[in-house]
Structure 1
Amino acid sequence: MPKAYVFTRYGGPEVEAFVDVDRPSPGPGQVLVAVRAAGVNPVDWKQRTGYRRPGETGEREFPAYFGNEVSGVVEEVGDDVEGFVVGDAVFGRPVVGGYSEYALLSVDLIAHKPAALSFTDAATLPVAGVTAYDGIRQLDLPAGATVLVTGAGGGVGVAAVQLARAAGLRVLGLSSAAKKDFVESLGAVHVPSGPGWTERVPGDVDGVYDLVGGDILEEAATLLADRTKLVTAGAQSEVVEKLGGSRVARVRTSERLEAVAELVVDGALDPHVTRTFPLERADEALRTVEDGHARGKTVIEVAG
């Protein structure tokens, strides 16, 4: 039977497990994908603790799959599916599956994988790449303006820094001192995190893209004259709205996936996958992200 890495109830790492699962069957508007790679994101372990994305309703069914972005090859198509056939290489957000051998994806949340894009890099785009893209576009800063990206060394931050630079922005990257060289290699001015970090910010800040939340978000807000230029993917809407900002408005469409993929193919965006793990070590992959010290993206690779 196919394997999957799941959580059996809300809690810490102790509720995680490898399990045998039935091979899913695609419903109308869905495709079954043999997973080749799955991106690992902070939201994965947060969902294990009971976190819900804005707008999510209903009770989660257990065991629940880890994983919110995958790439792979179409194995089966459901009714009313157009534009995708068995054998197509695709990437997107799973409806069922993630850290698993098979996943179900809705055709409005997937895109064809360009031949020049690896399965590993493609698996970083549906959550991390698109979140970065949406946030920088939402800020809508003019060329030459300065944007501060908090959590600049993580998966979304790495993409956000590059996309901001491509838009002609001056980028300040907040991260730990250990990630200084990495953040600077992306073209950002490094700002060391830690107590009093706002005093180390060089010059004025025109916009903030926060990927951390908490005290970092509140402190970053004090740097802005115009709080409408405060966007977060690291905190809930009600938290950032009290500060005068907003949560990143995600655009979950196939067209957005295609646009971000083209940026990788064209060389404007490098996902910077720094760690890969086989599916049987999915627990280790998740720990590298949960401990907060991962650089760039961590990806689980599934043997094809």
Structure 2
Amino acid sequence: MPKAYAFTEHGGPEVETFLDLPKPDPGPGQLLVAVRAAGVNPVDWKLRAGKRRPGQGPLTGPEALGSEVAGVVAAVGPGVEGFAVGDPVFGNPVAGGYTEYTLIPTDIAAHKPDALSYTDAATLAVAAATAYDGVRQLDLPAGSTLLVAGAGGGVGVAATQIAVHFGLRVVGTASAGKKEFVESLGATHVARGPQLPERIRESVPGGRVDGIFDLVGGPDLAGVAELLDDRTKLVTVAAKDTVAELGGVPVARARTAAVLDEVALLAVAGVLRPHVTATYPLDRADEALREVEGGHARGKIVIEVSG
């Protein structure tokens, strides 16, 4: 049976384990995919800790970790059109991603361009697509100033590059150690720490920003929100339950194949560089997730399942 890195109940890292799980059968509108690579994201450990997706039922047995994969179609379910066995694809799995086989619904799957590696493609369905959705949602005109709070992580790296491509001036907050990295993305770096709003104000023309893409949340968010004239131009993935108090909104995820196609084109064009900074084999999936859960990963971490 296929190997998977899964969790058996909600909790901390102690509930994670390697298991042999049955190979799933694709249902209507689904692809069975032989996984080549799986992206690692904060949402993975948050789901393990007990955060369930909207409409997702309670945990009834072991669940493989992972929310984005790239691989090869091994079988197609009833009614599937536009995909065939042997097609390279990437997307959001419904049966986890840290595994040798998984299922992807066709409405959140896309063909992998030949010019894009499986490792890079595995970074697009969560981080890059979230970044694309958020920047599009803000809809700022070229020349505007966008603050990306948390520019050094997976979503922040993608959001910064996409925003620069759209002609925005980007200010990115990240740890002091990520200064050179953030600046290489085309952003002005501001180190996180005391007096953050004041230091951001000093780094932007007029001391104001036109939009905020928040990936951090926490106590600093209220202070940096004061730099906005229009609070509706505050979107977040980290403070969904509290952002309304500041006048902002969560990022509205499109979760469509069309968005996956768009970010893949940006990656092929060199506009969006995934910045995979570390890869791990499947038998070290626990180490990969610890690196992301620790909050200090730079760019993207990927589990390479097969060659």
Name the TM-score class by shorter chain: over 0.9
What is the CA deviation profile of residues 158-191 of structure 1, one whole-angstrom value per residue up to 9, with x for unaligned ones? 0000001001111000000011110011110001
Q: Give the one of 223, 228, 245 matched to 1:242.
A: 245
Q: Which residue of 2 aligns with 1:127?
A: 126
Query: 1:115 is matched with which residue?
Result: 114
Residue 208 of structure 1 pairs with residue 212 of structure 2: yes
Q: What is the alpha-carbon distance in structure 1 between the residues aligned to residue 295 and residue 161 of structure 2? A: 21
Match of 1:194 in 2: 193
- Contact 2:67–2:92 (Cα < 8 Å) also in 1: yes
**Which amino acid counterpart does residue 232 of structure 2 have in structure 1?**
T
Q: Deviations over 1:113-163 (max 9, x none)?
A: 000011011000010000000101111111111000011000000000000
**Which residue of structure 2 lines up, in the alignment, with residue 62 of structure 1?**
61
Choose which of 266, 291, 294 in structure 2 pairs with 1:291.
294
Secondary structure of residue in 2 paired with 1:95: coil
Identical positions, percent: 65
Q: Spell out, residue by residue over 1:234-260, the C-alpha distance to the aligned partner (whole angstroms, 9 max, x if none).
A: 122x41111100001111111110011
* Superimposed CA distance per residue, residues 207-242 of structure 1 (whole angstroms, 9 cap, x where no aligned partner): 100011122322221221110110001122x41111
> Partner letter of residue 218 of structure 2?
G
**Residue in structure 1 matched with residue 84 of structure 2 by the alignment:** 85
Q: Which residue of 1 aligns with 2:27?
A: 27
Query: Residue 256 of structure 1 is aligned with which of 246, 256, 259?
Result: 259
Say if 2:302 is the partner of 1:303.
no
SS in 1 for 2:252: coil
Structure 2 spans left out of the alignment, 5+ residues: none
Is this contact kept in 1: 2:9–2:59, CA < 8 A?
no
What residue number does 1:3 align with?
3
Query: Partners of 1:70 and 1:163 in 2: how far apart?
Result: 21
Distance 2:132 2:73 in 1: 26
User: Secondary structure at the residue paired with 1:38?
Assistant: strand
Residues 29-81 of structure 1: CA deviation (Å, up to 9, x unaligned): 1110000000000011111111234x334212321111000000000111111
Task: Give the 4+ runs in structure 1 shifted more than 3 A.
Answer: none
In 1: Cα distance, 2:141 partner to 2:77 partner: 44
Alignment-derived partner of residue 164 in structure 2:
165
For residues 305 and 8 of structure 2, the distance between their equivalents in structure 1, rounded to whole angstroms, comes to 22
Q: Structure 1 stretches of 5 or more lacking a match?
A: none
- Report what 1:103 is aligned to: 102
Supply the AA of the counterpart residue of 1:228.
T
Aligned counterparts of 1:162 and 1:36: Cα–Cα separation in 2: 26
Partners of 2:60 and 2:228 lie apart in 1 by 42
Match of 2:92, SS? strand
Amino acid at match of 2:227: L
TM-score (norm 1): 0.97
Distance 1:140 1:193 in 2: 26
C-alpha separation in 2, matches of 1:86 and 1:57: 29
Task: State the distance in 2 between where 1:113 and 1:231 align.
Answer: 29
**What residue identity is the alignment partner of 1:217?**
L
Paired with 1:264 and 1:300, the residues of 2 have a C-alpha distance of: 19
Q: How does 1:226-237 map to 2 (within 5 A)?
A: 226-236=230-240
SS of aligned partner of 1:165: helix
Three-state SS of the structure 2 residue aligned to 1:214 is: coil
Question: Counterpart in 2 of 1:13?
Answer: 13
Partner of 2:224: 220
Partner AA of 1:298 in structure 2: I
Superposition deviation, residue 97 in structure 1:
2.6
Indicate the SS of the match to 1:17: strand
Secondary structure (helix, strand or coil) at the match of 2:186 reads coil
Q: CA RMSD in A?
A: 1.0
Instruction: Specify which of 275, 278, 296 is matched with residue 275 of structure 1.
Output: 278
Equivalence map 1:129-168=2 (5 Å)? 129-168=128-167
Alignment deviations for residues 262-283 of structure 1 (CA, whole Å, 9 cap, x no partner): 0001111101001100000000
